[in-house]
Amino acid sequence: MTERALVGLDDRQREAASALRGPVCVLAGAGTGKTRVITHRIAHGVDTGAYSPARVMAVTFTTKAAGEMRGRLRALGVEKVAARTFHSAALAQLNFFWPQVAGDSAPAIVDSKVRVLGQAADAIGLRLDATTLRDVAGRIESRKVSMRTIEADATARPHSIPGLDLSALTDLQRAYEKLKDQRRQLDFEDVLLACAGMLESEPRVLTAVHEQYRHFTVDEFQDVSPVQHRLLELWIGERQDLCVVGDASQTIYSFAGADPRYLLDFHTRYPQAQVVRLERNYRSDGAILGAANALMRGRPGALELVSSGPAGPVPQVTGYPDDAREAEGVARRIAEAIAAGVDPRRIAVLYRANAQSAALLSALASRGVPATVLGGKRFFDLPEVRQALLALRGAAVAPLETTFVAAVRDVLRSLGFSDDPPPAGGALRDAWEARAALMRLAEEAPAGATLRTFTDQLMARAKDQHEPSLRTVTLATLHAAKGLEWDHVHLVGMAEGLLPISYATTFEQIDEERRLAYVGITRAARSLSLSWAQASGYRERQRSRFLQEIGTGIADAGGARATTGGRSRH
């Protein structure tokens, strides 16, 4: 039993999962199974008696990732591990210890920073539009995750926001903080700062946290900000039972305070740390990895990814005369693939900016291809899904007069579900796809399922944000696509001004854009298509410098396909 969590791991994964005492640094490239390693390492520690699960904290950056981690640990028979985001862990500690320290309940959390900023602006006689308020909110978030005071931030970043001079910006931030204090409120970033401040100033609280948690794992360590790193230091104290997992080549949140130096310099801070490199990729074929490796070669912390299977077709590059024809060309190729039997759920179109989605959605709809934009409402928050859950739970009260699957179909039909989908594009098709996803979950349910157990399972999935995939093509920004994968990826807008984006001018900013392109490329498992348009309106564009760095050839604009000239380099 003590070896069960190591079964099925490759040699490097097994090495990482067997390193139960920190400090440990796992450099895990895209598609190398890092979540598998994290969860199996924790399970192995519990199986061997090295860890008590209630004293393990596994920290990641999204609620969805934390839910996936908990689900995988449950599947391995491990319960009670605190798998949380930095914010949820900090908020739980604030809510628990604040009454003991302050004799009162913890402050409420601001639901809209922009709204409070608007009220603060009114209080000091400023009239600002929503765009400016959002820019100020971003400035506040950046300042706080970097642990700078208002005054220190003004010195470090003397530039202001359009329509607001530096003095007014400073006054507005002070008014915002004053208003929050008067209302006993904290914003999202304050949660981390307040938790760190409480641990620094209250030794008994720090001692209690050290007693509760002995073993720490941090996923996506390249995305840690200064305030998160400070909080982690306080949680750990002088101990060294820390395992960090990350990939410097996937640092794409510098604007949110992410600092990959914490990952890159880990061996300097902990000279005795065991470092394990995971470079065998189980997602993408060798030709796709060749493009990814070429793009990142020579960059700090870059890993050389190696495919676990044979090389497939080299990535294709296509040039188009303009944005509209690019969208039409991509839609045509996707429609042809679906007609040939490809599941639309296994296809994604990725792009740099949200504004690029409109033309793509229109082009896909014109060819009858349903598509979903990632980053909208969560599946279980959709009105039609919430309505279906209520109806299914209500139907569960009565005894079944038919089979379970038939009962689910009857409930969904009473809400408007039909066997034949409406035309692609529009709210009716979106609602149909959501109900169809529930129907598929029912058809995949284990033998003996009932309406009660089915709705319980759906509620558990909602809690863990384990959302079913809609039978649609996915459209997503490169930021939203991180951590996901598809068999077939179309990376569009590979032109100067889009990728890299026009406002990326410094070396560091261009490198961040390169990492975004790398993230997009490594989402693809079986095929990768890259495209760009020579013109957008009256503006002429050049193909992205990243296409040249990858070593690809390019066709004359006009929609003809062109294949890459570079092959996999391992």
How confident is the model over 483-494, as pLDDT tens digits? 899 999 999 999
pLDDT range class, residue 558, cuts 50, 70, 90? very low
Residue 561 has a pLDDT of 38
Residue 519 has a pLDDT of 96
Average pLDDT over residues 124-133: 91
The residue whose two tokens read 């996937």 is 250
302 assigned ligand-binding residue? no
Q: Decide if 83 contacts 73 (C-beta within 8 A).
A: yes
447 exposed, middle or buried (CB, 10 Å; 0-12, 13-18, 19+)? Answer: exposed
Average pLDDT over residues 159-183: 90
pLDDT exceeds 90 at position 228: yes
Residue 34 has a pLDDT of 93
- Judged by DSSP in three states, 133 sits in helix
CATH 3.30.1330.180 fits 288-376+473-563, yes or no: no
Average pLDDT over residues 558-569: 34
Average pLDDT over residues 98-113: 91
Residue 217, H or E segment: strand 215-218
45 assigned ligand-binding residue? no
First to last CA, the chain: 37
32 assigned ligand-binding residue? yes
377 assigned ligand-binding residue? no
Q: How far is CA 160 from CA 157, 164, 451, in A?
A: 8, 7, 57
Q: From its phi and psi, is residue 344 left (phi > 0), alpha (psi between -120 and 50) or beta?
A: alpha
34 assigned ligand-binding residue? yes
Residue 155, H or E segment: helix 150-156
Distance, in Å, from the CA atom of 161 to the CA atom of 369, rounded to the nearest integer, reads: 42
Kindly report which listed range (348-357, 364-373, 548-557) carries the lowest average pLDDT score.
Answer: 548-557
Residue 103 has a pLDDT of 87
pLDDT range class, residue 1, cuts 50, 70, 90? low
How confident is the model over 15-64, as pLDDT tens digits? 999 999 979 999 999 999 999 999 999 999 999 999 999 999 999 988 88
pLDDT range class, residue 529, cuts 50, 70, 90? very high
Residue 535 has a pLDDT of 86
- Say which amino acid occupies 207: T
Which one is predicted more confidently, 552 or 120? 120
The residue whose two tokens read 């390249």 is 222
β-pairing, 24-28 vs 473-477, is unpaired
Average pLDDT over residues 223-251: 94
pLDDT exceeds 50 at position 555: no
Residue 384, H or E segment: helix 383-395
Average pLDDT over residues 162-188: 92
Kindly report which listed range (130-139, 323-332, 457-466) carries the lowest average pLDDT score.
Answer: 457-466
pLDDT exceeds 70 at position 142: yes
Q: Which two tokens stand for residue 439?
A: 């129907």
| Percent of the residues in the chain that have a pLDDT greater than 90, as a whole number | 64
Q: How far is CA 67 from CA 70, 83, 463, 464, in A?
A: 5, 8, 8, 4
pLDDT exceeds 60 at position 401: yes
How confident is the model over 424-470, as pLDDT tens digits? 777 888 888 889 889 989 988 888 888 889 988 898 888 777 788 78
Adjacent-strand bridge partners of 316? 529, 563
Which one is predicted more confidently, 315 or 378? 315
477 assigned ligand-binding residue? no
Residue 528 has a pLDDT of 95
Q: Three-state SS string across 274-286, please?
A: EEEEECEECCCCH
Q: Which two tokens stand for residue 555?
A: 């066709």
29 assigned ligand-binding residue? yes
pTM across the whole model = 0.84
Residue 559 has a pLDDT of 36
Q: Which two tokens stand for residue 562?
A: 């062109």
Average pLDDT over residues 288-309: 91
Class of domain 4-89+193-278: alpha beta
Distance, in Å, from the CA atom of 222 to the CA atom of 312, rounded to the nearest integer, reads: 30
Average pLDDT over residues 115-134: 92
Q: How far is CA 231 from CA 192, 197, 227, 242, in A?
A: 7, 9, 6, 13
Distance, in Å, from the CA atom of 64 to the CA atom of 53, rounded to the nearest integer, reads: 21
- Judged by DSSP in three states, 357 sits in helix
**Side-chain half-sphere exposure of 375, counting CA atoms within 13 A:** 13
Of 50, 37, 128, nearest to 76 by C-alpha is: 37
How confident is the model over 245-267, as pLDDT tens digits? 999 999 999 888 899 999 999 99
DSSP string, 9-51: --HHHHHHHH--SS-EEEEE-TTS-HHHHHHHHHHHHHHTTS-
Distance, in Å, from the CA atom of 265 to the CA atom of 546, rounded to the nearest integer, reads: 27
The residue whose two tokens read 């679906």 is 338
Distance, in Å, from the CA atom of 278 to the CA atom of 33, rounded to the nearest integer, reads: 8
Average pLDDT taken over every residue of the chain: 89
Distance, in Å, from the CA atom of 530 to the CA atom of 330, rounded to the nearest integer, reads: 10
33 assigned ligand-binding residue? yes
Kindly report which listed range (82-96, 242-256, 378-392, 503-517) carries the lowest average pLDDT score.
Answer: 378-392
